[in-house]
Amino acid sequence: MIPAPFEYDAPTTLEEAIGLLQKYGDEAKILSGGHSLIPMMKLRFASPERLIDINGIAGLSHISEENGTVKIGALVREVEAEHSDLLKKHFPIFEDVTHLIADPQVRNMGTLGGNLAHGDAANDHPAVMIALGATVIATGPDGERAIPIDEFFYGFYMTALQHGEILTEIQIPVPPAGTSSAYHKLERKVGDYATAGVAVQLTLDANGVCTAAGIGLTNVNPVPLRAARSEAALIGKTLTTETIAEAAKYASEDCSPSSDLRGSEEYKRDMVAVLVKRMIKKASERILI
């Protein structure tokens, strides 16, 4: 399978890339890892007239911590997130999620920026970023803009990014002591997209009372979903079996999965409930250790 013909630019600065995006508008698409875009182009689901390859732009591959915020450059590859000591220290969820994304070769190419910018509810990082309360930084002709993750995903393959804008960084607040996180997705085989996936980050105080909760759901809704009622059900409570079961019930009610080759709607709702329970337990066990 061969993509339709296109023009190709490989700018080396952000300014140049933004200039090209402005000049070509709708005709142009950004190329990062290419592992969502190139398969779509080969299947002719996408036929952009021009690719703007941003891989040659320096300064988009950092993972750093500054003033209570972890900053992840848009071009950080999955494999780099998988092995980052800084991410491991604050967010054990990154090791969970990267292991479950595709396979080692795909993780050598795919970027975290591309994973979000693709705007696909089947991708795993959107739910993780929802649980972690991330902010997406978009750089465009007028400079930088911060987009809270809850305002980032719009619809099927649609995000808040405007023409001329490049996702340049992901920012995640460093959580307080007593916090941990976990992710799991049910998949039919290695490399498959989620039948259902659940990301959880929890903060517990010294008495075991939950003071903050983030829960994101993968591939059970048209857009990546925050399980807001589940989060609210946990806050101010100790994590008893009943509390956890209530949170799980809300998530399975509030998502909107479609029946497809990965399972029926009913099955997926059940799996959401099971995974919410398990990930709350896993995240909270990680806090106690």
Partner 1 sequence: MKEITITVNGTAHTLQVENRLLLVHFIREVLNLTGTHIGCDTSSCGACTILLNGKSVKSCTVLAVQANGKEIQTVEGLAPEGSLHPLQEGFKENHGLHCGFCTPGMMMRASELLQNNPNPTEDEIRWGISGNLCRCTGYNNIVKAIQYAGAKIRGEELPSTEPEFV
Ligand X SMILES: Cc1cc2nc3c(=O)[nH]c(=O)nc-3n(C[C@H](O)[C@H](O)[C@H](O)COP(=O)(O)OP(=O)(O)OC[C@H]3O[C@@H](n4cnc5c(N)ncnc54)[C@H](O)[C@@H]3O)c2cc1C
Task: Work out what residue 30 binds among ligand X, partner 1, none; the CB cut-off runs from 5 to 8 Å by kind.
Answer: ligand X
| Contact flag: residue 13 with partner 1 (CB under 8 A) | no
CA 200 to CA 214: how far, in whole Å? 6
For 284, the 3-state DSSP assignment is helix
Between CA 233 and CA 249 the distance in angstroms is 10
In the complex, the residues that contact ligand X under the rule CB under 6 A are 29-37, 39, 74, 101-102, 106, 109-111, 113-115, 117-118, 123-125, 161, 166-167, 191, 193
Q: Does residue 11 bind partner 1 (CB under 8 A)?
A: no
Contact code string over 61-80 relative to partner 1, x by CB under 8 A? ------------------x-
Going by C-alpha positions, the residue among 211, 219, 209 that lies closest to residue 187 is: 219
Candidate list 17, 30, 31, 166; residue touching partner 1; CB under 8 A = 31
What is the 3-class SS of 61-89, one letter each residue? CCEEEECCEEEEECCCEHHHHHCCHHHHH
Q: Which stretch binds partner 1 (CB under 8 A): 32-40, 158-166, 178-186, 239-247?
A: 32-40
Select the residue interacting with partner 1 from 99, 158, 222, 232 (CB under 8 A).
Answer: 99
Nearest of 242, 251, 245 to residue 269 by alpha carbon: 251
Under 8 Å between Cβ of 211 and 237: no
CA angle 118, 283, 117 (to 5 degrees): 10
Q: How far is the CB of 135 from partner 1 (least distance, A)?
A: 29
- Least separation, in Å, of the C-beta of 33 and partner 1? 9
Binding interface with partner 1 (CB under 8 A): 1-8, 10, 31, 34-35, 38-39, 42, 51, 53, 55, 79, 99, 102-106, 108-109, 190-191
